Amino acid sequence: MSDDGKGLDKDAIYQKAIDRGLLFPGQEMADADLFMLIFAPGFSTAKAVTTVSGRGVGMDVVKREIDSLGGIVSLSTDPGRGLTVTLKIPLTLAIIEGLLVRIESEFYVVPLSSVDGCIEISREELRALGERRILSYRDDLVPYISLRSTFDSPGEEPAIEQLVIVNSQDSRVGFVVDQVVGDYQTVIKPLGRMFRDVEGLSGATILGDGTVALILDVNRLAFAVQRDTGKKPSKVGER
């Protein structure tokens, strides 16, 4: 990405680096390496601190996030004409919009493009539905499974659970979870060999606090619903 601003001030960056002890007077450095100093924590050439600039934290955060993805950031500038920032991220990474859900202390991500809706349902209502595990939703009969049971999660179901309704190949199925946390932009990371063949998972992601969340494979779980309930999910709009 590029802009048509003033570009980077090489002399100002060089002097600021000397003032902060990052370089010593007279030290020579290639322009590309010098420009990368703006990513150092707390580095800023602003003469005054305002509410939006001068604190030297913005570029530091950018560099740290790119590094965490295994990517590379580089800069090139034409003084008085603009700056070009180049970001390179491994092709093995993909970013999707997801719905973050929780079961006990475990987190899962449902691809948001597959989510049709979410409803609350009590433990008593689930018990009343019996072993058939089929409920009425928007004039459809929708089969569902408990992800707690599917993934053998510990603990006891809360009094009020959440039912996430998803679309899979023009059919609706439901997944019962403890809590719907909310929307979450997800960077997909591949599973290791040990978990590659686990049914119903397509990858993993790392949340902001370092917790690992597993990404659900909606289509494979839909087959699990069909197998466990003995009923093929109805087409959307069918009874």
The most confident of 55-64, 172-181, 189-198, by mean pLDDT: 172-181
What is the Cα–Cα distance from 149 to 175, expressed in whole angstroms? 11
Q: What is the DSSP letter of 238?
A: -
Asked if residue 143 has pLDDT above 70, the reply is yes
Identify the CA nearest to 158 among candidates 123, 134, 132: 123
Find out if CATH 3.30.565.10 is the number for domain 10-88: yes
Length of the chain: 239
pLDDT bin (cut points 50, 70, 90) of residue 233 is very low
**Beta-sheet pairing, 106-111 with 115-122:** unpaired
* Average pLDDT score over residue span 17-38: 85
Q: Which fold has domain 94-229?
A: SH3 type barrels. (2.30.30)
Which pLDDT does position 106 carry in this prediction?
94
pLDDT bin (cut points 50, 70, 90) of residue 236 is very low
Asked if residue 209 has pLDDT above 70, the reply is yes
Identify the CA nearest to 232 among candidates 163, 134, 137: 134
What is the Cα–Cα distance from 177 to 120, expressed in whole angstroms? 10
What is the Cα–Cα distance from 8 to 10, expressed in whole angstroms? 6
- In Å, how far from its chain's centre is CA 52? 26
Which pLDDT does position 151 carry in this prediction?
86
What is the Cα–Cα distance from 235 to 141, expressed in whole angstroms? 9
94-229: same fold as 10-88? Answer: no
Residue scoring higher pLDDT (46 or 95): 95
Which pLDDT does position 238 carry in this prediction?
44
- The residue extents of the domains of the chain are 10-88, 94-229
Q: DSSP characters for 6-58?
A: ----HHHHHHHHHHTTSS-TT----HHHHHGGGGSTT----SS--SSSSSS-H
Paired tokens of 225: 């619903």
Q: Report the mean per-residue pLDDT for the chain.
A: 81
Which pLDDT does position 164 carry in this prediction?
95
93 by DSSP, 3-state: which?
Answer: coil
pLDDT (tens digit, 9 = 90+) per residue, 67-121?
A: 776 678 888 888 777 888 888 776 556 788 999 999 999 999 999 989 999 999 9
